[in-house]
A and B are shown apart, each in its own frame.
Chain A
């Protein structure tokens, strides 16, 4: 597709369940970023990938969060044993290369609701 694609668009799940969020970046973009947008915390950086490598995982809020990227393309953000505070919109972005002057192109996000 032409833009960053995220799925599902919305996800409702029960507390304690695991969820997987998917991001399909713009074709050819080597850098991929995950952010979380919540009412209380605003927009927070979670993790970035350069190719398949994630050099900086310091933004992940707890060890229940993990992410991977395979084939330098699709990325999956996994949240285990979900908690109500995990409710948020999870945004993915990609850029052609991992540089500050490269604009990040965002997807529409996944709205995650934990019951």
Chain B
């Protein structure tokens, strides 16, 4: 079974600075997808960024980028120029590419605080 581990229950960053959230996963599959989702207090999960395992290039979305290390099974999220609106719970998630059930397997989350 696939597992996702986020080793940082909480992180804090000063506004305008950079922070990196860690995620590791375990799978026997060679092809899969990885995601970072953000959950503000409103509870709605919002997709931040997506990475396809067969692509070596790291995904980027504006101030958000990932460091995908397939051999190490590591998928960290870097937030540059942090803003107060980035404060939220961040979840790393995995889903398979083949097979029939594309459920998301989530880590336990990292609570990010942004200090003004």
Contacts and interface: CB of A to CB of B under 8 A. Distances in A.
Interface residues of A, number: 28
Nearest to B33: A100
B44 A107 contact: yes
Interface in B40-57: 42-47, 50, 52
Interface in A85-109: 89, 91, 93, 95, 98-109
B2 to A, nearest CB: 11
A1 interface: no
For chain B, which range describes its interface: under 10, 10 to 19, 20 to 34, or 35 or more residues?
20 to 34
A35 B104 contact: yes
Interface of A: 3, 31, 33, 35, 42-43, 45, 48, 55-56, 59, 89, 91, 93, 95, 98-109, 111
16 contacts: A42-B107, A43-B104, A45-B103, A89-B43, A91-B45, A99-B102, A100-B33, A100-B95, A100-B97, A101-B50, A101-B52, A103-B47, A103-B50, A104-B47, A108-B43, A109-B44
